[in-house]
Chain A
């Protein structure tokens, strides 16, 4: 290492702000260079949001920001004040799973489960703007979310099942309360 490298002496000053996460206003302090991904996982302990690259390549950290799917590793935490953040922890309605979650659970849409939170939120953003997407639209929407386990097929089928006519009849009774 070169001689002009000076040891770091001080931690940077923290920013203090209020974020709206899953409908709840939370006050949080963090270093200003932290990404939303880091703030969620490290400062708010919402570890449901995953990371696979920290470079915007894999899609594992996708969350909703004002209803749009974004990669939390490419968004700075300080830019999120006053905006609605939805993470996987906010997808279910308390104990009742979102229809996408139910479908993924029942139909093999999740294997190791690591890409699952990002894919579920990306799928939710898709369905919110396109309630009945075609298979091609689903493929397109998920093209930034890598999954190494499933080969995507059961993910497509899960999303299609979640929007299907049998939606309301889906039986979630096996899930312990």
Chain B
């Protein structure tokens, strides 16, 4: 009911609302919580990758002065896991360990070093089992099973989805490209190591402070495992010192300190070491992929067949969702008339993989964008022109029944081509230098929640007081991305006040309405829409009162510059504070709520719950590389990125997310790898992490980071808050394939796996010099017994989003809970 023809907060680069706390060191991270009488917890972790626990003897540890409590698995029975279908983790392992680092006992002591020393006095008798090191071994080694659930042997989950007759589409193509790619695993490496503090409140209720991206899911898991009502548990998500997906699971240490605090009635803290963070992992799944694509002579795709094999590690985690995501978004960038996806996730005795920035979609995007570069080369079409010719149309419904929103991809491509000087560089730079182009897309929030329910995905409450104060409450978790700033900025925009006039309370299950968490790039869109709704409701209450007082029509009122005034006579108005007073006089105490639930997806087949999103962001990138042909060393002097942001709410933060995505992408492209090795047989032959330390796990430093030139494409999407889309994950995706494509432009070799290290480039150059194709990468994809595919016709072939042969069709129609979606 009010008019506003300009934004005053949205779109203006500005200091984020929590910046002062961060630059003064006063942001309270979980390990900064210090409470009177607090005790400290350390976990005894398995040195074996796979073993039965015969016995655990804790009496010597319990006798140590300063030790208050020793816990083992029998003290905290119960399973948990982030997805309802993967409740396969224990707070402390009872009968079996499945990876090096699995916790088997906990010591709670007066200080950390006493607890650490006491761990050495706990005797555990293990019976080692055969270690399953990788998917290939797992496929050949069904016994021993790492878990007694899953499909069979050590296969966790298989999926096959068929959207139209792909075989026929490939047969009628002028060319079929058949490529195999490998994407090595890597980890989030947040600077902050996970920490949690549990305390029992004076009234007996439990409070947990934790470095978590998903306080709501931690809340549910604590209630389930500890068997106490959720209403008696409060979870506070402290600001995370970086998350990137690595703090979106429920972790055993969170449950252990909660149990210990309840037993001792004293606060208990745990702060993980860096080595332990490597064992928590939940990072990028190592993925072997085979991609077959049919194209016409003029570069149109006729059909695509993708097969993936994911190394899931020791637990389910988000893995079922990760598996579906490894096939879900291949159709949202370019028009793919027919599509078949077959995927398989394997259990191995390594830290569990899960969601890392770009969750599951990063690996197949890497393959697809490299293959497009090959296609362009074969068809003698410029790679940018090839892509521009096949960009999917706005508001399309894809072959796999994803409804798209606005698509800024073509504009992204045109912009990076222009600002990078692509046409003067591609194929034209001197030997050893090259440019590569790649594109991508990402969700703006998972369309379905992790557990099936019809409630809002995000809720916001607003409290206005007669002093003019505004407080906004939301369960969202600030992980550095700036969600608090988005929340406050949107409320300030609607109410016409300054962001610093708004107080915000977030990530607290007692005080704030639920937001599902900082994952799947959902917060800006979902929380943002809820915030706008709450703020507009408050504005309307104020406007009614102001209109009555000023005797003008409410529709003429403007909220701006801390005032409410008549748009046709701006002098006629009152301060925002007075407007709240008038509203309180008329309506009583002023409080409003807003909530958001994503639109229903047209995908109604089993598994169709992973992939839908209110809209999708798009990105195009050009990377320039210099390759030393003697050593294979790659350096990256410049990167150009164009990102379809819909609308940029705070350009300072948006650019920071783009830069950060490019940075993390370059790490994945060139150096980062979570890899394992066998200890020498005389030690134990155990499969261990090759280097669980920040020094040896290489990540880019300030010396490695190129100049990044960022272009924002603003085409507001009707589903976004003021049109905004995500930016936290999307800009990472094109970087890895763009690097690979640039290496090819520079020295003529194809590196079909990451990280693209000097030794691989040298091997490919050697291959080229010997007259080979100059390629490094996997040559085979194993024969996997995928299930019969669900047959879902694409929309243009009459498909209605259901599967013709869904065995659970009736049940699915009724229950239809796609297992888990997520990033």
Q: Which residues on A are within 8 Å of B, measured CB to CB? A: 1, 5, 7-11, 31, 33, 45, 47-55, 57-58, 60, 87-89, 91-92, 97, 100-102, 104-117, 120, 138-140, 142-156, 174-176
Contacts and interface: CB of A to CB of B under 8 A. Distances in A.
A89 B701 contact: no
Contacts of B15: 105-106, 174
B63 to A, nearest CB: 6
A50 B191 contact: yes
Contact of B32 (A8, A47, A55, A104): A47
A151 B191 contact: no
A156 B190 CA distance: 20
B141 interface: no
A63 B28 CA distance: 19
A21 to B, nearest CB: 13
Complex A-B, nearest 5 residue pairs according to Cβ-Cβ distance, in ascending order = A48-B25, A112-B480, A113-B22, A114-B241, A151-B663
Interface in B345-379: none
A70 B277 CA distance: 24
Given A143-B703, A148-B699, A153-B708, 4 more contacts: A50-B192, A52-B192, A58-B694, A104-B22
B779 interface: no
Given A7-B60, A55-B693, A153-B708, A146 B701 contact: yes
A3 to B, nearest CB: 10
Interface stretch (B119-127, B254-262, B432-440): B119-127
Nearest to A8: B117
22 contacts: A1-B121, A8-B114, A11-B65, A48-B24, A52-B191, A57-B274, A89-B24, A106-B14, A106-B19, A108-B656, A110-B23, A111-B482, A112-B242, A112-B479, A112-B480, A113-B18, A149-B480, A151-B708, A153-B707, A156-B702, A174-B14, A174-B500
B728 to A, nearest CB: 10
Contacts of A176: 500
A147 B123 CA distance: 39
Contact of B702 (A50, A91, A139): A139
A173 B664 CA distance: 34
Contacts of A10: 65
Interface in B271-315: 273-274
Contacts of B24: 48, 88-89, 91-92, 97, 101
Given A105-B19, A117-B25, A152-B663, A146 B656 contact: no
Given A57-B695, A89-B25, A154-B659, A113 B34 contact: no
Contacts of A145: 702
B563 to A, nearest CB: 18
A28 B484 CA distance: 37
A139 B31 CA distance: 29
B228 interface: no
A51 B121 contact: no
Interface residues of B, number: 72
Contact of A5 (B16, B120, B653, B659): B120
Given A45-B34, A97-B23, A149-B480, A52 B663 contact: no
B24 to A, nearest CB: 6
A140 B703 contact: yes
B473 interface: no
B703 A150 contact: no
Contact of A151 (B63, B240, B243, B660): B660
B238 to A, nearest CB: 11
B113 interface: yes
Given A8-B65, A53-B693, A174-B15, A150 B273 contact: no
Given A50-B191, A60-B191, A114-B191, A152 B482 contact: no
Contacts of A114: 29, 190-192, 241-242, 480
A140 B34 CA distance: 35
Contacts of A51: 31, 193
B244 interface: yes
Contacts of B693: 53, 55, 57
Given A1-B120, A53-B274, A145-B702, A153 B659 contact: yes
Contacts of B708: 151, 153
Nearest to B22: A113
A11 B66 contact: yes
Contacts of B653: 108
Given A146-B699, A150-B660, A52 B64 contact: no
B68 interface: no
A116 B26 CA distance: 11
A49 B191 CA distance: 13
Contacts, number: 210
B19 A110 contact: yes
Contacts of A87: 25
Contacts of A116: 22-23, 25
B38 to A, nearest CB: 10
Contacts of B29: 50, 114
B113 A31 contact: yes
Interface in B6-42: 14-16, 18-29, 31-32, 34
Contact of A146 (B60, B240, B694): B694
Nearest to A136: B703
Contacts of B190: 112, 114, 148
B189 A143 contact: no
Contacts of A153: 659, 705, 707-708
Contacts of A92: 24
Given A55-B695, A112-B239, A152 B705 contact: yes
A121 to B, nearest CB: 10
Q: Which of B34, B117, B656, B664 has the most CB of A within 10 A?
A: B656
Given A113-B480, A153-B705, A105 B34 contact: no
A152 B702 contact: yes
A51 B193 CA distance: 8
Q: Which of A45, A53, A107, A139 has the most CB of B within 10 A?
A: A53
Contacts of A139: 702-703, 705
Contacts of B674: none
A122 B693 CA distance: 22
Nearest to B26: A48
A150 B659 contact: yes
A156 to B, nearest CB: 8
B498 interface: yes
A5 B122 CA distance: 10
A146 B667 CA distance: 12
Q: Which of A108, A147, A156, A175 has the most CB of B within 10 A?
A: A108
A105 B23 contact: yes
Given A58-B191, A105-B15, A143-B702, A113 B23 contact: yes
Nearest to A174: B500
Interface in B648-698: 652-653, 655-656, 659-664, 693-695
Nearest to A103: B23
A48 B21 CA distance: 10
A33 B118 CA distance: 17
Contacts of A1: 120-123
A68 B659 CA distance: 30
Contacts of B660: 111, 148-151
Interface string B704-734: 0101100000000000000000000000000
Contacts of B652: 106-108, 154
A5 B241 contact: no
Given A53-B693, A105-B20, A112 B701 contact: no
Contacts of A48: 24-26
Interface in B85-144: 113-114, 117-118, 120-123
A171 B663 CA distance: 30
